[in-house]
């Protein structure tokens, strides 16, 4: 198979990763999966986080787990859903925290592309999923790939904000140089854990405070 279609700046920094044996195995796995199952997001959207936020533009990273597994939801950006799709519970809670943190209105659409265009890299640790089967593409190689992405961002960029929600995302803190980046850890926004410290964690204002203090533009988080 040819290398994946991905935005040019990312293609440049990830070219070695695409040649590794685990990535070849991952591509073979996905080819077989597509023969027998519906996979989300669609092929063109698997690398949407990269396509919407070129390497040089990344300022904030929000790390998710695997894509939404319902029809029409996932489009390649962590926590985001396509226009017209009801907000999943985790996204509802993200918007509530956004309201409480910055006074933003609750947007009608759960599409977070406007964040991505400003430099918010909405990365899932696993980039595909089988329809209706959460976590079905874990341990097939995606974690190796996204760990490499996180390490590259940490090593090659300065003063990024990494927002890590939940235990799996929090474990990625070990890949990030905390001397040159801000790491914000909190419980996952899922209804199962949001009241254990996600609400009140103020990730949006903390991100902007850090960006401004380091001579960068703040993110316009409000979508409504």
Cross-strand bridge partners of residue 162: 61, 183
Q: Which of 66, 83, 101, 147 is catalytic?
A: 66
Q: If you write DSSP's letter for every residue of 40-104 in order, what string do you get?
A: ES-GGGTTHHHHHS-GGG--EEEEESS---STTT--SSTT---TTSPPPHHHHHHHHHHHHHH-P
Note if 101 is an active site residue: no
The residues that bridge with 123 in the sheet, in sequence order, are: 63
Q: Rounded to the nearest 5°, which phi and psi values hold at 123?
A: -105, 125
Given the DSSP bridges, would you call strands 129-130 and 39-40 parallel, antiparallel or unpaired?
antiparallel
- Give the span between the Cα atoms of 160 and 61, in whole angstroms: 8
194 neighbors 75 (Cβ within 8 angstroms): no
7, 56 in Cβ contact below 8 A? no
Catalytic sites, residue numbers: 66
């Amino acid at each position: 198979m040819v290398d994946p279609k991905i935005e040019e700046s990312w293609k440049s920094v990830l070219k070695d990763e695409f040649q590794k044996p685990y990535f070849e195995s991952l591509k073979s796995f996905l080819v077989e999966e597509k023969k027998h199952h519906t996979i989300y997001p669609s092929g063109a959207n698997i690398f949407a986080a990269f396509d919407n936020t070129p390497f040089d533009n990344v300022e904030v990273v929000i790390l998710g787990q695997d894509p939404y597994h319902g029809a029409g939801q996932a489009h390649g950006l962590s926590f985001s859903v396509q226009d017209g799709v009801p907000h999943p519970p985790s996204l509802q809670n993200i918007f509530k925290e956004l309201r409480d943190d910055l006074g933003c209105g609750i947007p009608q659409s759960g599409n977070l592309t406007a964040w991505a265009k400003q430099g918010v890299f909405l990365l899932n640790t696993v980039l595909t999923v089988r329809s209706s089967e959460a976590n079905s593409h874990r341990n097939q190689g995606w974690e190796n790939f996204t760990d490499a992405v996180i390490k590259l961002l940490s090593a090659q960029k300065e003063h990024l904000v990494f927002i890590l929600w939940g235990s799996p995302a929090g474990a990625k803190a070990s890949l990030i140089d905390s001397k040159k980046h801000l790491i914000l850890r909190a419980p996952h926004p899922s209804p199962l854990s949001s009241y254990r410290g996600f609400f009140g964690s103020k990730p949006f204002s903390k991100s902007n405070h850090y960006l401004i203090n380091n001579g960068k533009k703040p993110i316009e988080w409000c979508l409504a």
